[in-house]
Chains A and B, each alone.
Chain A
Amino acid sequence: MSNPRRAFFRGAGQSLPFFVVIVPFAMLFGVLSAEAGLGPWETQIFSVSVFAGASQLAALQLMQDQAPLLVILATGLAVNLRMMMYSVALTPHLGGAPLGVRAVIAYFLVDQSFALSMAEFEKRAALSGAEKVAFFFGTVAPLTVMWNIATAIGVQMGRAVPESWGLDFAMPITFIGMTAAMLRSRPHGVAMVVSVGVTLLLWAMPYGTGLLVGAAAGMAAGAIAEARIEARAMRRVRVGGKSHD
């Protein structure tokens, strides 16, 4: 029994609970893109090409709003910037693989494969490089298949859903639910409030540009809040030390 093979199947097994997350999400994307007038193949190619649900939904919404191309692209890419963090964090574990393999890994770097892999690699420090690569692919193989099947099902459903269902509000609920579940710390809350506040204030600005300014302000506010909290903690550690401010 080869160990990488075992690692692959362990990863695949651990990915199964995530079906609950990605299946409805992919179906929602399929439904909404069908409602937006995209054909089944256009939707599927979109999903395969970008393979990042939140940014696909964001781009879909902005395309429907007739936002300028540059704003659509900037917003979609901003949603996906978090993956740069994933890329950084996985490099110590998977960076030893040949470039060709790493190029394939990069395509499959999604929230779920990242989260599962990091947890596994931290828990089992003794895994070999080959086992780590196999585990990573194991986590993402079933999810990729399900993601595309559920998208296709969603497209077919979307053609049957009447407008009276109020699906226009599905996207706000989805994004707000995702955000709320991610509010792990005070800086996360600060980032959200500042970003939403600035975006609403600037809503009169030419389409979508207010969003970019708001998002940048929110990210900066989150980073500043985090730095402050850290500085305060450091000061507290210096027991009885004089503060310098």
Chain B
Amino acid sequence: MIDRWTFWAVVVVLGLGTYLIRLSFLGLLGNRPLPIWLVRALRYTAVAVLPALVAPAVLWPPATGGAPDPARLATVAVTLLAGIMTRNMIAAIGAGGAAFYLLPLLIG
């Protein structure tokens, strides 16, 4: 159950913070150049944060009580491969979803 106080704090602060990130240069900082190391690091935010966020749930899924599950690991491998090969997010997610429901039928 999600704590309501936490939820509304997230709605307000995450909303405002995200807005300020978007506004940053466009609204306030203008054409000032960013330091090169910062530009570099920003490029990798999404590929660093998103997979790390779900990695523990992939290895130790709550749905199986934390025991590694071959079907889930194989699903992740299929998703990764499909995404790398097609460069297409929807194709990757579609392949992963299909694998998740079909692999248990094959593995038994």
Contacts and interface: CB of A to CB of B under 8 A. Distances in A.
Contacts of A216: 48
Nearest to B37: A223
A176 B76 contact: yes
Q: Which of B14, B34, B53 has most chain A Cβ within 10 Å? A: B53
A64 B12 CA distance: 18
A148 interface: no
A87 B76 contact: no
Given A63-B2, A105-B26, A223-B37, A84 B42 contact: yes
Contacts, number: 277
Contacts of B87: 181, 184
B97 interface: yes
A102 interface: yes
Contacts of B27: 99, 102-103, 106
Interface in A200-245: 200, 203, 211, 214-223, 226-227
A109 B22 contact: yes
Contacts of B89: 21, 177-178, 181
Interface residues of B, number: 72
A218 B44 contact: yes
Q: Which of B3, B26, B83, B88 has most chain A Cβ within 10 Å? A: B26
A148 B14 CA distance: 18
Interface in B8-33: 9-15, 17-19, 21-27, 30-31
Nearest to A59: B10
Contact of A169 (B53, B75, B84): B75
B47 A179 contact: yes
Interface string A19-47: 01100100000000000111000100110
A241 to B, nearest CB: 22
Contact of A223 (B24, B40, B58, B76): B40
Interface of A: 20-21, 24, 36-38, 42, 45-46, 49-52, 54-55, 58-59, 61, 63-64, 66, 69, 72-73, 75-88, 90-92, 94-95, 99, 102-103, 105-107, 109, 166, 168-184, 187-188, 191-192, 194-196, 198-200, 203, 211, 214-223, 226-227
B62 interface: yes
Nearest to B23: A106
Interface of B: 1-3, 6-7, 9-15, 17-19, 21-27, 30-31, 34, 37, 39-59, 61-63, 72, 75-76, 79-84, 86-93, 95-97, 100-101
Contact of A226 (B23, B40, B54): B40
A63 B79 contact: no
A69 B47 contact: no
B49 A215 contact: yes
Contact of B45 (A81, A173, A183): A81
